[in-house]
Amino acid sequence: MAVVRHELLVPVTTQNRGTAPGEGRKAWLSWLDATVRFEGSDLIVKAGLPPRIRHRGALKDLQSPLLSDDLLFQVAKDILDPNQLGHFERNGSIDFAYDYEKGRRFRVNMFMARGKPSVAARLITSQIKRFEDLYLPASLGEVAMTSQGLILFSGVTGSGKSTSIASMIDYINERKKVHIITIEDPIEYIFEDKKATINQREIGIDCTNFNDALRALVRENPDVVLVGEMRDYETFEAAIRAAETGHLVFGTIHASSAWQTFGRIYDLFPEEEREQIRKLLAYNLRAIIYQKLLPTLRPDIGRIPGIEILLNTPSVQKYVLEAREGELLDIIKQSRHEGMIDFTSSLVGLVEEEYIHQNVAIQATPKPEELKMRLKGIGHLSGG
């Protein structure tokens, strides 16, 4: 199931390390236990430092001696199977999922940095939250019930894209008798069949790669497809073709706003193919949702999403066909009554409702002066 990320000039070796077998697993489980007990979202482990967990967006040290190279090499030997260990030793990086206990698993990347192993692990639970629990607008339910098309979530790593998509898929699961297939690397949320039938395929276990899995879709008769991260030309092209042939397709992509997602997509394709992709997007895109998680003022809420929603209305379609994507932010601002919202308005709302401090909003926005002007009338948080 390992995914090769890059080649090393010198292969890693985990042989002849000094820590006893089993000590790595014992340490590993203690770190995962601490992450769960202290309600962390992530675990970061590096030789020469204590293990750290991310809590409410900030990294905090666990009470632990500094970690040795030997211990982390032993962790690799204890928790990876022989095939995974071989990939790690040859390629210096491996992605995998680790089942910690029922209802909790970790999405893990183990990688080499300056000749020493490091680990980044994200806590994933089987508890799929509803829109209101994630502070997402109820309008996403209407988007989720679309019969076909492409729905993209954009944002940086750790912005909650996968969590929001899981919520939308489970919304469908509770309401429609459809066949849902997810293609993930690795599987993050485990769905239970409700009204829908859900099959989840994990790269490296159930299928070799995204492209092979996407090619097999035509024989698997899905109505709804989750592609996971759209990292390259082949994956995105297959996803949009699936949307074109009558499927509802969900995916994620790294971009810094809803409207700027178009540029990120076009960059995946050769110049001569971009006009065709533009037309496919214009006719098959249903929505782009950008989100960024922000620290809150409320002790019962760790982080909350600032969002931007672009829906493919006739006006948006016209702008895309005319290659005027750079003007779409104006359309979003003018179309709130249609369910759209721009990121600045989302931040203003979060400040007004006292979910976030205005300084957090100003740091988060790409348009700080516009935001400051709109916050001038909000005096109750101006002193912090």
Q: Kindly report, residue by residue over 100-145, the tens digit of the pLDDT.
A: 887 788 989 999 999 999 999 988 877 899 999 999 999 999 999 9
Between the alpha carbon of residue 261 and those of residues 77, 150, 151, 265, 344, the distances in Å are 40, 13, 12, 6, 17
**One domain for residues 166 and 202:** yes
**One domain for residues 103 and 209:** no
Would the pTM of this model clear 0.95, i.e. be above it? Answer: no
The CATH number covering residue 116 comes to: 3.30.450.90
Mean pLDDT computed over 231-238: 90
Residue 350 covered by a domain: no
Residue 382 covered by a domain: no
The CATH number covering residue 139 comes to: 3.40.50.300
Distance CA 165, CA 81 (A): 30
Domain count, the chain: 2
Residues in the chain: 384
**One domain for residues 158 and 245:** yes
For the four alpha carbons of 163, 168, 172 and 175, in that order, the dihedral sign comes to: positive
**One domain for residues 76 and 218:** no
pLDDT over 50 at 5, yes or no: no
Q: Domain boundary at 125, 154, 184, which?
A: 125
Yes or no: say if 302 and 56 are a contact pair by the CB < 8 Å rule. Answer: yes
pLDDT of res. 377: 65
Could you report the per-residue pLDDT of 309-346, keeping only the tens digit for each?
Answer: 999 999 999 999 999 999 999 999 999 989 999 999 99
**One domain for residues 63 and 102:** yes
**One domain for residues 111 and 167:** no
Residue 355 covered by a domain: no
Residue 370 covered by a domain: no
**One domain for residues 117 and 219:** no
DSSP string, 252-273: EE--SSTTTHHHHHHTTS-GGG
Closest C-alpha to 316, from 343, 282, 280: 282
**One domain for residues 116 and 212:** no
Where is pLDDT greater, at 58 or 281?
281
Could you report the per-residue pLDDT of 96-105, keeping only the tens digit for each?
Answer: 889 888 778 8
Mean pLDDT computed over 200-218: 88
- Bridge partner list, 219: none
**One domain for residues 139 and 99:** no
Helices (H), the chain: 23-37, 69-79, 82-91, 131-134, 139-144, 161-173, 210-220, 233-244, 261-266, 274-284, 314-321, 328-334, 343-352, 358-364, 368-375
What domain range includes position 174? 131-341
Question: Measured at the alpha carbon of residue 42, what is the angle toward residues 120 and 3, in degrees to the nearest 5?
Answer: 35
Between the alpha carbon of residue 181 and those of residues 191, 196, 217, 289, 346, the distances in Å are 11, 10, 8, 21, 32
Mean pLDDT computed over 351-358: 96
**One domain for residues 173 and 30:** no
Residue 372 covered by a domain: no
Prior bond to 368 cis, omega within 30?
no
Closest C-alpha to 336, from 319, 356, 318, 311: 311
Phi and psi for 292 in degrees, rounded to 5? -140, 130
Residue 303 covered by a domain: yes
Residue 192 tokens, joined: 């239970």
Q: Domain boundary at 323, 341, 359, which?
A: 341
Phi and psi for 321 in degrees, rounded to 5? -60, -30
In this structure, which amino acid lies at residue 217? L
Q: Domain boundary at 125, 144, 176, which?
A: 125
Yes or no: say if 50 and 66 are a contact pair by the CB < 8 Å rule. Answer: yes
In this structure, which amino acid lies at residue 44? I
Compute the half-sphere exposure of residue 156: CA atoms within 13 Å on the CB side of its CA: 8
pLDDT of res. 17: 58
Q: How confident is the model at residue 1 (pLDDT cuts 50, 70, 90)?
A: very low
Residue 12 covered by a domain: no
**One domain for residues 150 and 207:** yes
pLDDT of res. 70: 94
Residue 45 covered by a domain: yes
For the four alpha carbons of 291, 294, 298 and 299, in that order, the dihedral sign comes to: positive
**One domain for residues 214 and 337:** yes
